[in-house]
Amino acid sequence: MPGRIEQRLAERSIVLPAAMRAMANYVPYTITGAHAWVAGQGPFLDGKLHYNGRLGENVTIEDGRACARIVGLNILAQVKAACGGDLDKVVRCVKLGGFVNATADFTQHPEIINGASELMIEVFGEAGRHARFAVGAPNLPMGTSVEIDAIFEIRV
């Protein structure tokens, strides 16, 4: 029987990508006590990179937000794995750390990272509201436009 959150995802036609493996010598998530720490995720769908490029240079605000949403989907895929497949174990989204590949004079980082923040609220409702930071990076691994890490509280 699908859980409450799985139903929400189905209602909204949200399909989670396969959880990515770590790209180097780290793990995609750890669990300490009741916290799941999710490693920085990129915008992958079906193992393929979406949205390369730099905000303020060759990526629009709309595409940047769409990119952040895909990054959010990858975070959810890792959280699901951390919960043993049951997203109903999520107590809340605690924190997102958002990095935007941006030019030196770009200033709309919050609008970009909203693509992920809004996804969390869409999926978890009030429990999706989180603290966060949103900052600019001069480049990101593989040239992606957005990288986000996360902390979730889960029932263990």
Element (H, E) at 133: strand 131-137
Q: Which CA distances in Å does 80 have to 23, 76, 100, 111?
A: 19, 6, 25, 26
Considering only 69, 80, 89, 130, the residue that binds other proteins (CB under 8 A) is 130
Q: Which residues of 134-151 are buried (b: 16+ CB within 10 A; e: fewer)?
A: bebeeebeeebbbbbbbb
Task: Verify binding: residue 35, other proteins, rule CB under 8 A.
Answer: yes
Q: Which is nearer to other proteins, 28 or 72 (CB)?
A: 72
Considering only the stretches 4-12, 16-24, 32-40, 74-82, report the one whose residues sit in contact with other proteins under the rule CB under 8 A: 32-40
Shortest reach from residue 47's CB to other proteins, in Å: 29
Q: Where along the sequence are the contacts to other proteins (CB under 8 A)? A: 33-35, 56, 91-92, 94-97, 100, 102-111, 113-114, 117-118, 121, 129-138, 151, 153
